[in-house]
């Protein structure tokens, strides 16, 4: 059996093209792949963008203008794996400065309500450390943070 492609399908209320363009502007290895226009008989909107397909770092996504009846919630999020504090700061600032809202433990919502996790690679290593006291200290530090600060995690994990 041939493997099937799985594409996240994101529901927006009229802002699919704006969101896709923004996401592509944030991530360097991204591109818009195409959109589907339509005439909406229900709203008299002519040549509106119905759906936009785009890629972020080889992940294909589709943004769809489905209307106001469904909203994003925290049960689904996109995880951004960051190597350095500069990476964390870059993505955090891009999403927050564009109308996003901070949450806890590296989570935020963009201006459309889609949840993102901006997480440094060291976090899962510290939380999974075989020294459970060290891991616990890292966990307690993370629970107090909105944006993850690597230096503060390392300091807490070391017991300083």
Question: What's the pLDDT at 87?
Answer: 98
Mean predicted lDDT score pLDDT of the chain: 91
Q: Which residue has the tokens 């959109």?
A: 35
Mean per-residue pLDDT, 64-90: 95
pTM surpassing 0.85? yes
The segment(s) of the chain belonging to CATH 3.10.180.10 are 1-69, 72-160
pLDDT at 42 over 60: no
Task: Give 9-34 pLDDT, tens digit per residue.
Answer: 999 998 999 999 999 999 999 999 98
Q: Which residue has the tokens 């989570």?
A: 107
CATH of 1-69, one of 3.10.105.10, 3.10.180.10, 2.40.50.100, 3.30.2020.30: 3.10.180.10
pLDDT at 39 over 90: no
pLDDT at 106 over 50: yes
- For residues 155, 136, 127, 74, the Cα torsion angle rounded to the nearest 10 degrees is -110
pLDDT at 146 over 70: yes
Residues 72-160, CATH architecture: Roll (3.10)
Mean per-residue pLDDT, 127-139: 97
């Amino acid at each position: 059996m041939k493997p099937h492609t799985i594409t996240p399908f994101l529901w927006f209320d009229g802002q699919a093209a704006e969101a896709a363009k923004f996401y592509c502007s944030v991530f360097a290895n991204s591109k818009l792949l195409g959109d589907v226009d339509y005439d909406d008989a229900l709203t008299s909107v002519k040549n509106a963008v119905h759906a936009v397909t785009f890629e972020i770092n080889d992940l294909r996504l589709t943004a769809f203008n489905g209307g106001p009846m469904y909203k994003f919630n925290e049960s689904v999020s996109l995880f951004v794996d960051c190597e350095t504090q500069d990476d964390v700061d870059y993505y955090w600032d891009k999403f927050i400065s564009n109308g996003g809202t901070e949450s806890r433990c590296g989570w935020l919502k963009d201006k459309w309500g889609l949840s993102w996790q901006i997480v440094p690679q060291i976090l899962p290593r510290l939380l999974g450390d075989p020294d459970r006291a060290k891991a616990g200290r890292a966990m307690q530090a993370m629970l107090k943070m909105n944006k993850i600060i690597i230096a503060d995690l390392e300091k807490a994990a070391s017991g300083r």
